[in-house]
Amino acid sequence: MRSAARRIGNVAKTRRLFDIDESIVPYHAQEEMNDDADGVADAYDALAGDYDKLFADCAAAAESTFETLLRLLPGLRRVSRILDCACGTGIECLSLARRGYSVHGSDVSRGMLERAQERFRTQGLRIPTTRCTWEELPRRFEPGSFDIVLCLGNSVSHCLDRSSLLASLRGMFAVTAIGGVLVIQLRDWDGLLAEKPRVTVGAVCRQGEHRMIPMYIWNLRGMWLPSDLEIVFLELDGDVVRTHSYSLPFCPIPSDDLIRSIREAGFAQVDRYSLEDGWYAIHATKA
C-alpha cells in the first residue's frame, strides 16, 4: 500500500496541473483507504493511459450510453444535476456536458481523473472532478446534491464483498436528492458465469497503421468470490507485434443481491432493465 506521505506529497503538483478536487487527501493521512479501494485505484492508475483504447470509438460509445440513459430517464432535463461517480477518463461526462447538462465527475483513481481533465481541456470545457471512494461521497458533497447519480461500466463490481457494496450504495444514496435517481450499469454475471468464458476479444482501436486489440482473460471464481480480469493489449505496428497487460480486481454480484442491497441502502422503487450484449441496468428512485 502506498504511504500517506506519498499521497500528500503529490497533491500540490496534481492540483496545479489538473482541475481535480483532492482536498480529502489530508484525511487519508489519518485513515487510509481500505485495501480493496486502494487496490482498485492502483489498478486503474496503471490502466489510465490505455483505457480509451478499449473502445474502437469513444464518441460512439458515449453516444450509445446517452441513448441508453434517455430510455432509462425519459424525464432527463438539462437543469438536472448529475454525478458520474465512476467517471473514469470522462467519456460520459464530456458527452453530457456538450449537451448542456450540469455534470460532476468522481473516481477513486487519480490517473483516470487526470486523463478526464486532459479530455475536457482539449474540448475547451471545465468539468469539476473529485477523487474519492463511493463511501466518501457524503463527506465531499452536501446531502441530496444530485438529481441523478450514475455508476456505469460495471464499476460497482469492484465492491469485493457485501459490506463494501452496501456502504458504497449508502454513499450514493446520501448525495441523491429526494425524488432523484440512481442508475447502475452492470454485466449480467449470472449469464456470464453460466457461459464461463476464458478469453474474449474487444474491438480494434486504430490510429493510422497502428492497431490495438484488447483481449480479456477472465479468472471467474464464482458469485461473491473475488476474481480478476487480465486485459492484454495486442499492438500491431507494421510488422512489429508487442503485448502488454493489466489486471483488474472485481467480484461477480448476483442481480437479486444487488437489488436487495440497493433497497437496504434506502432507495424505494428499484427496477431492472435488460440491455444488449449481456448487460443490464438498475433504475432506483429515492423517495
Give the closest residue to 137 by CA, choosing from 180, 103, 178, 168: 168
Collect contacts of 236-242 with beta carbons under 8 A, ≥24 apart.
236/210, 236/211, 236/212, 237/209, 237/210, 237/211, 238/209
According to CATH, what is the number of the domain 190-250?
2.20.25
pLDDT per position as a tens digit, 38-82: 899 999 999 999 999 999 888 889 999 999 998 999 878 877 899
- Report the candidate in 161, 165, 106 with the shortest Cα–Cα distance to residue 133: 106
Domains of the chain, by residue range, sit at 4-187+253-285, 190-250
C-alpha cell at position 80: 438536472
Residue 14 is predicted with a pLDDT of: 38
Q: CB-based contacts of 258: which residues, under 8 Å, 6+ apart?
A: 156, 165, 184, 186, 282
CA distance 248 to 227: 9
The whole-model pTM stands at: 0.88
The full DSSP string for 64-106 is HHHHHHHHH-TT--TT-EEEETT-TTSHHHHHHHHTT-EEEEE
Tell me how far apart the alpha carbons of residues 158 and 253 are, in angstroms, rounded to a whole number.
Answer: 10
- Does residue 25 register a pLDDT over 70? no
Rounded distance between C-alpha atoms, residue 263 and residue 272, angstroms: 13
200-231 confidence digits (pLDDT tens): 999 999 877 789 999 999 999 999 999 999 99
Would you state the torsion angle of the CA atoms of residues 170, 171, 175, 181, taken in this order, to the nearest 10 degrees?
-50
What integer pLDDT is reported at residue 245 of this predicted model? 98
CA nearest 114: which of 47, 161, 187?
47
Please list the residues that pair with 167 across neighbouring strands: none
User: Which has the minimum average pLDDT: 7-11, 92-96, 181-185, 192-196?
Assistant: 7-11
Up-side HSE of residue 262: CA atoms within 13 Å toward CB? Answer: 27
pLDDT at position 26 over 60: no
% of the chain exceeding 70 in pLDDT: 88
Fold classification of 4-187+253-285 is Rossmann fold (3.40.50)
Alpha helices in the chain, H assignment, sequence order: 4-17, 25-30, 35-47, 58-72, 91-98, 110-122, 137-140, 162-175, 189-195, 255-265
Q: What percent of the chain has pLDDT over 90?
A: 77
